[in-house]
C-alpha cells in the first residue's frame, strides 16, 4: 500500500511511502484483538473493591434465641448476611485482574489492528515536525490541514516530544504516543491514525 507524505501545512511533500505488507497487510484476527484489548483493560482495574464478611462486621455474637421450638429458622448471630448490617456473602475481595498473553499473540493483535486501519484507509503520513512551545491550537491546525479528522485521532511519534504531548493533553479526542507505547487498544479505539514519517519503518523492523 502506497501513501503520500503530507507537510504540516496540508500540502504534499512529494514523497511517497510504501507500507510493509507484513505489518499493514496481514489477515486480521479478531479473536487475538479481543484478547489483547481485554488484557489491556483488565490491567487498568485497581482490584481494590472489598466488602466485610460475617467474621469482620461489628456485631454481637450472642445467639438470638434457642435452637429449637421458636417457630422459625435457627439463628446464631446478627452477623449473618440475611440481617440488615450483617456480613456480605461472597462479596468482592482485593485481587489482581491482570493475566498473561504470549508475545506472538500480542504482536499479531497489533498487526491486525494496523492492518484494519490500512484496509479502512484511516492512516495518514506526515513529515516529522517539532513545536517550539506547547500550543493546542497549533496542533489542531496541523491535524485539520492534513485532514486527520476531528474524532479520536491517534498520533504516533518516532520518539518523545514533550511540546507535542503537552499540546494534546487538553484534547479529549486526540492522543499522542510514541512508537514504543503503541498498543492494540489505542489503535482500535482511534478513528484515524497519524504516523509521523519513519514510524512505519520502525514497526516493520520490529516484526520477526
Grid coordinates belonging to 16:
511517497
Per-residue pLDDT tens for 24-78? Answer: 999 999 999 999 999 999 999 999 999 999 999 998 888 988 999 989 899 989 9
What residue segments make up the domains of the chain, in order of their start?
2-46+102-206, 51-91
Confidence band, pLDDT 50/70/90 cuts, at residue 206: confident
What is the separation, in whole angstroms, between the first and last Cα of the chain?
20
Q: What pLDDT, on a 0 to 100 scale, did the predictor assign at position 29?
A: 96
Give the whole-angstrom CA distance, residue 182 versus residue 176: 10
Q: What pLDDT, on a 0 to 100 scale, did the predictor assign at position 202?
A: 92
CATH of range 2-46+102-206; options 3.30.1360.170, 3.40.1370.10, 1.10.260.30, 3.40.47.40 = 3.40.1370.10
Give yes or no for a contact between 159 and 89, defined as CB atoms under 8 angstroms apart: no
Give the whole-angstrom CA distance, residue 109 versus residue 35: 8
- Give the three-class secondary structure for 178: strand
Give yes or no for a contact between 17 and 125, defined as CB atoms under 8 angstroms apart: yes
Give yes or no for a contact between 71 and 49, defined as CB atoms under 8 angstroms apart: no
Per-residue pLDDT tens for 100-154? Answer: 999 999 999 999 999 999 999 999 999 999 999 999 999 999 999 999 887 899 9
Q: What is the pTM of this model?
A: 0.84
Amino acid at each position: 500500500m502506497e501513501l503520500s507524505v503530507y507537510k504540516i501545512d496540508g500540502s504534499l511533500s512529494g514523497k511517497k511511502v510504501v507500507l510493509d505488507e507484513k505489518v499493514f497487510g496481514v489477515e486480521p484476527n479478531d479473536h487475538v484483538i479481543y484478547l489483547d484489548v481485554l488484557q489491556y483493560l483488565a490491567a487498568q482495574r485497581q482490584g481494590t473493591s472489598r466488602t466485610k464478611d460475617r467474621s469482620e462486621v461489628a456485631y454481637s455474637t450472642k445467639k438470638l434465641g434457642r435452637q429449637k421450638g421458636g417457630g422459625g429458622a435457627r439463628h446464631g448471630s446478627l452477623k449473618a448476611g440475611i440481617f440488615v448490617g450483617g456480613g456480605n456473602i461472597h462479596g468482592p475481595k482485593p485481587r489482581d485482574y491482570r493475566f498473561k498473553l504470549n508475545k506472538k499473540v500480542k504482536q499479531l493483535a497489533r498487526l491486525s489492528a494496523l492492518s484494519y486501519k490500512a484496509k479502512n484507509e484511516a492512516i495518514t503520513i506526515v513529515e516529522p515536525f517539532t513545536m517550539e512551545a506547547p500550543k493546542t491550537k497549533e496542533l489542531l491546525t496541523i491535524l485539520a490541514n492534513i485532514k486527520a479528522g476531528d474524532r479520536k485521532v491517534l498520533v504516533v511519534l518516532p520518539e518523545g516530544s514533550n511540546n507535542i504531548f503537552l499540546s494534546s493533553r487538553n484534547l479529549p479526542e486526540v492522543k499522542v504516543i510514541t512508537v514504543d507505547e503503541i498498543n492494540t487498544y489505542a489503535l482500535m479505539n482511534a478513528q484515524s491514525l497519524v504516523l509521523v514519517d519513519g514510524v512505519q519503518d520502525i514497526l516493520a523492523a520490529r516484526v520477526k
